[in-house]
Structure 1
Amino acid sequence: MPTASPGAAPVDTVDLPLFVPADRPERLAKAVAAGPDAMIVDLEDAVAPDARDAARAGLAGAFAALATGMPLLLRVNARGTAWHAHDLAAAAALPLAGVVLPKAESGNDILRVAGETGLPVIALIETARGIAALDEIAAAAARLAFGSIDYAADLAIGHTRTALADARARLTLASRLAGLPAPIDGVTASVHDTDLLAADCAHAREMGFAGKLLIHPAQIAPARAAFRPSDGEIDWARRVLEAAPEKGAFMLDGAMVDAPVLARARQILARAPQAETA
């Protein structure tokens, strides 16, 4: 895969990126101050069709005025739209960490975007065709993300955890088989319902996702807390690793601990603040 711009963080560290409309450059500095993992400057759904050309033209100036080391990504318009080719040309000239490709439906889509921009591509899976081609997409992409609202609309199914469980499981499995970081979950549309956001994040984490696409600065802190292991999990993981012999299974708190359990303990500590693994 092509590498990101010099100094840009790799997309595998971007778990909680915040969308910012490309036609609202005054929001960029505010978004940086809010402290997400990264910003996804959006040329697609967040911008009216008749404003997308002007928004794209203003990106270079907006980025030049932005003093930050935060990774910047650009969500371009989908392949087959009138804006796609121009978006890719702009992305190639901007100081980006990566490109987000909506409605990704083939490995060739990913390879062409990566080739034309010289950037890693986060493939946004939003359609039945995207799910059907998931393995080849994962083989070409730098990371997978789930556009759950568009996916539910494409299949005319409910936007519920039950209806979307199969698709989420497929993204997790495809990411693992391709050696990619764990995928990023779709948005929670309710901006100020922190209980719903926390529950959505907990479900995504349970399904093997490492992060979530965010649409408002108010979602950053609750989402970060929800993806962080609990104090109880961290304490358990530390005790497991401290008690582990050099080899073989053993008992702890009346439960068997063997290699898979040790692996889970290490995974928990890897996600903990100031993690220490054994």
Structure 2
Amino acid sequence: MTFALGPAILFCPADRPERFHTALDRADAVILDLEDAVLPAAKATARGNLIDADIDPDRVIVRVNAPGSEAFVSDLATLSQTDFRTVMVAKTEEPEALAAFDPRFSLIALCETAQGVHAADRIAAHPQVVAMMWGAEDLVASIGGTSSRRPDGTYRDIARYARSRVLLEAGAQGKRAIDAVHIDIDDVEGLAQEAADAAASGFTATACIHPSQVPVIRAAYRPDDETVAWARAVLTAAEQERGVFRFEGRMVDEPVLRHARSVVSRAR
């Protein structure tokens, strides 16, 4: 099982079925949310909307409620009545909790509590996990904090640690990583900087909460023409070289070539 969605993945409340098609038209993939975006009284209706949804299941992720909750049991029963097979598991805290899913489901583990980030290595190793995501606000709340960001909008150290750990543990297991949402919708510059950093750091995608954020994320993940031209040129040069070689004044070895391959892949 592999994960190849992104780079802009848009959350959509599952109790708003009139938004499903629009969200999918605007983003690379959609997360139909049964968890935080839906009030408890509306969850049953939201599950019915999933069953009735007529959208491409290959571009849909369903976020279910946390394992162990009463809502989680109902979410699983609903999924069995749909064609959706990629599931984001809210507040994943231990790999053992993922045993509730049968093998037909591909899982995205959302590590957004202290326990989840602490167990990220074991969660990433689960065979059904195809991607990892982290969440800032629930994480900080889980340890008694009040804000994941400093007054200037940058992440506090605890959030930066969680982001790095989830990315590293996903990479160690050959899994993909999804960066957290930027909740300040009007902060276009901040989103652009974070998404560009995510792409450069190795994230496959960035989640978002508003359609206006989609083009910003796409632009950040798309390498510029000069970088693409360099990547293609150095890969072409590598075909005539053996081992380490010099290219445009720079030493090139296999890690540099992997960077170049990644650039060309993102350009496609």
> Considering the TM-score relative to the shorter chain, is it more than 0.5?
yes
Q: 1:162 to 1:203 in 2, by over 3 A?
A: farther
Q: Secondary structure at the match of 1:213?
A: strand
Q: Counterpart amino acid of 2:253? A: D
Match among 185, 208, 211 for residue 217 of structure 1: 211
Matches within 5 A, 1:1-278: 11-34=3-26, 36-61=27-52, 63=53, 66-68=54-56, 71-112=59-100, 114-115=101-102, 118-140=104-126, 141-155=129-143, 156=145, 158-159=148-149, 160-163=154-157, 164-181=159-176, 183-244=177-238, 245-273=240-268
Q: Counterpart amino acid of 1:210? A: T
Q: 1:272 to 1:77 in 2, by over 3 A?
A: same
Q: Counterpart amino acid of 1:179? A: G
User: 1:175 offset after TM fit, Å?
Assistant: 1.2
Partner Cα separation in structure 1 for residue 255 and residue 61 of structure 2: 36
Q: Deviations over 1:233-278 (max 9, x none)?
A: 21221221222233122222222112221221112111112xxxxx
Q: Which moved more, 1:154-163 or 1:135-144?
A: 154-163
Q: 1:118 to 1:242 in 2, by over 3 A?
A: closer
CA contact (8 A) 1:149 1:186 kept: no
Quote the RMSD (CA, aligned, Å): 1.9
User: 1:120 offset after TM fit, Å?
Assistant: 0.8
CA contact (8 A) 1:53 1:83 kept: no
CA contact (8 A) 1:32 1:70 kept: no
CA contact (8 A) 2:8 2:29 kept: yes
Q: Secondary structure at the match of 1:83?
A: helix
User: 1:162 offset after TM fit, Å?
Assistant: 4.8
Q: Counterpart amino acid of 1:138? A: A
Q: Secondary structure at the match of 2:67?
A: coil
Partner Cα separation in structure 2 for residue 232 and residue 152 of structure 1: 39
**Match for residue 5 of structure 1?**
none
User: 1:215 offset after TM fit, Å?
Assistant: 0.9
Structure 1: gaps of 5 or more residues: 2-9, 274-278
Q: Secondary structure at the match of 1:17?
A: strand
Q: Counterpart amino acid of 1:172? A: L
Q: Secondary structure at the match of 1:58?
A: helix
Q: Secondary structure at the match of 2:93?
A: coil
User: 1:11 offset after TM fit, Å?
Assistant: 3.2
User: 1:127 offset after TM fit, Å?
Assistant: 0.7
Q: Secondary structure at the match of 1:124?
A: strand
User: 1:133 offset after TM fit, Å?
Assistant: 0.9
Partner Cα separation in structure 2 for residue 105 and residue 27 of structure 1: 31
Q: Counterpart amino acid of 2:60? A: L
State the identity %.
38
Q: 1:15 to 1:88 in 2, by over 3 A?
A: farther
Aligned residues between the structures: 258
CA contact (8 A) 2:5 2:59 kept: no
Q: Secondary structure at the match of 1:103?
A: coil
